[in-house]
Amino acid sequence: MIKLFKNLLLVGLVCFTVIACAQKKSAITEFDNENPVFYDTDSVHINAHGAGMLYVDDTYYWVGEHKVAGGRGNKSWVGVRMYSSKDLYNWKNEGVALKVVKDTTSKLQEGSVIERPKVIYNDKTGKYVMWFHHELKGQGYDAALTGVAVSDSVTGPYEYLDSFRMHPGVWPVNFNEEQQAWAKELLNQDIGRKEALEAGVYLARDFEVGQMSRDMTLFKDDDGTAYHITASEENGTLIISKLAPDYLSLSDEYVRVFPGGNNEAPAIFKKDGKYYMFTSGLTGWDPNPARSAVAENMMGPWTALGNPVRGTEEERKTTFRTQSTHVIPVEGKKDAFIFVADRWTPQDAIKGEYIFLPVEFEDGKPVLRWYPQWDLSFFDNK
Ligand code: GAL
């Protein structure tokens, strides 16, 4: 009898613990930037670095780089992973949306580098289109390609189409004949990086083979026009390109933005008809001061707005030890935008963390402050 009682007690205790844990798991109700690990609903560390987000049928989808442990984790051994969430706090693992392959003749082979994947939906074709920064296996960061994949379903599987340099044989619309001639003339002259970037020398160098594309993002406008924004010209100049109407390729229309500005990690959002951009500087995995910019038109001109971080000197110098990756427009809330950033751990890539901060506005400028814990009610009564 006593034994039975003991057993019942034990079962009761186990049940209580399981229920308590389950409740705890489903009860995430805030962003916790002091414990920025972000577990999925199976209690596994979310593995979707360099995130992009999109909203489909009342659900947010988070797409990102699946990393593995150690330094080799900075290369792609699995592919692009997806998660879904109804509330932006609790994320369900939706599996691998784009898989790297064993076939060593494919550009998408294991050990290539896939970074910063982003997905947008094409209303006309009914397809989900993924773009990502792609480096070929064994070539470091030299290839500087942009890759594209497509799916009928948001969570995939995505069919890989190709990876390529941008705009071979096409000049940007904001680079006139005089500038083209001057850039070509400087091509074989011994000038410094800054001068070369300002004059478009790398642009001229890569004119035939196509322009480089590294840190990138996508932006889909209200009218369905979509843009590819990327660090080009040895990461010295941003290039913004209009996508073709089916989003599967780039159109010929593109502009250079901030030549010689050394911007990486672009993230774009739109508020009151204006376009805003966060970027980082150029220090690899190490954090640096963020930048911000505004434009009336995606194709420019863009105006720099300076470092958006408000806080201590250390916070301003390192952007809270993060690098931008995306801005989420919060559905159903006015002027509610979330800055999403990576805190990289390149020596053990899988351990990278995610920081979510509300975007505030001061004198028409987007600004970022550190909030250790916060929730979406932050945006109410704004
Ligand atoms: C960062 C970039 C990352 C990754 C890294 C490699 O600047 O934002 O996405 O490319 O460099 O060193």
pLDDT on residue 25: 55
Give the model's confidence band at 81: pLDDT under 50 very low, under 70 low, under 90 confident, else very high.
Answer: very high
pLDDT tens per residue, range 171-202:
999 999 999 999 999 999 999 999 999 999 99
So what's the pLDDT on residue 41?
87
Residue 231 Cα to ligand 1 middle (Å): 11
Under DSSP, the state recorded for 318 is H
Count Cβ atoms below 10 Å from residue 22 Cβ, excluding itself. Answer: 11
Q: Is residue 76 over pLDDT 80? A: yes
Pocket test for ligand 1, best of 216, 235, 264 (most atoms within 8 A of CB): 264
215, 280, 322, 345, best to mutate for ligand 1 pocket (most atoms within 8 Å of CB): 215
Atom of ligand 1 nearest to the CA of 323: 8
Kindly give the number of the ligand 1 atom that is closest to the alpha carbon of 235: 7
pLDDT tens-digit readout, 85-114: 999 999 999 999 999 999 999 999 999 999
Q: Looking at ligand 1, which residue's alpha carbon is closest to its atom 5?
A: 284
Evaluate if residue 21 carries a pLDDT over 70.
Answer: no
The Cα 318–Cα 290 span in angstroms is 8
Candidate of 72, 74, 113, 115 to mutate for ligand 1, largest count of ligand atoms within 8 Å of Cβ: 115
Average pLDDT, the chain: 94
Query: Of all residues in the chain, what percent carry a pLDDT higher than 70?
Result: 93
pLDDT score, position 382: 66
Index of the ligand 1 atom closest to the CA of residue 116: 9
268 φψ region: left (φ > 0), alpha (ψ -120 to 50), beta (else): beta
- 263-382 maps to which CATH number? 2.115.10.20
76-79, long-range: CB within 8 Å, 24+ apart, which pairs?
Answer: 76/100, 76/110, 76/111, 76/112, 76/113, 76/114, 77/110, 77/111, 79/114
Q: Examine the pLDDT at 16 and tell me if it is beyond 60.
A: no
How is residue 369 written in tokens?
A: 């402050």
pLDDT value of residue 18 = 44
Pocket (CB within 6 angstroms of ligand 1): 50, 115-116, 215, 264-265, 284-285, 323
Per-residue model confidence (pLDDT) at position 3: 55
pLDDT for 297 equals 98
* pLDDT surpasses 70 at 269: yes
Ligand 1 centroid to Cα of residue 122, in Å, is 28
Q: Cα of 284 to ligand 1 centre, how many Å? A: 5
**Peptide bond preceding 301: is omega within 30 degrees of 0, i.e. cis?**
yes
pLDDT tens-digit map of 305-342:
999 999 999 999 999 999 999 999 999 999 999 999 99
**Residue identifier of the C-alpha nearest atom 6 of ligand 1:** 284
pTM assigned to the model:
0.93
* Average pLDDT for 286-292: 98
User: Which pLDDT value is given to residue 38?
Assistant: 81
CA count, 13 A, side-chain hemisphere, 66:
19
CA of 367 to the centre of ligand 1 (A): 23
User: Given a cut of 90, is residue 14 above it in pLDDT?
Assistant: no
pLDDT at 372 over 90: yes
| pLDDT at 11 > cutoff 60 | no
How far apart are the CA of 74 and the centre of ligand 1, in A? 10
Which protein residue's CA is at the shortest distance from atom 1 of ligand 1?
Answer: 284
Whole-number Å distance, alpha carbon 144 to ligand 1 midpoint, is 12
Taking Cα atoms as reference points, which of 58, 345, 325, 83 lies closest to residue 217? 325
pLDDT in tens, 45-66: 999 999 999 999 999 999 999 9
Distance 24 CA to ligand 1 centre (A): 35
Residue 68, pLDDT score: 97
Q: What's the average model confidence in pLDDT over 114-129?
A: 98
Q: Predicted confidence band at 36 (pLDDT cuts at 50, 70, 90)?
A: confident
- Could you tell me the residue ranges of all domains in the chain? 263-382
User: Which of the four pLDDT bands, split at 50, 70 and 90, describes residue 82?
Assistant: very high
Instruction: Kindly state the tokens that stand for 194.
Output: 């800054």
Cis before 157 (ω within 30) = yes
Atom of ligand 1 nearest to the CA of 283: 7
d(CA 8, ligand 1 centre) in Å: 55
- Please identify which residue in the block is written with the tokens 């690990």: 37
pLDDT at 9 exceeding the cut of 60: no
Residue 295: pLDDT band with limits 50, 70, 90: very high
158: pLDDT confidence band, cut at 50, 70 and 90?
very high
Residue 40 above 70 pLDDT? yes
Question: Residues 126-149: what's their mean pLDDT?
Answer: 98
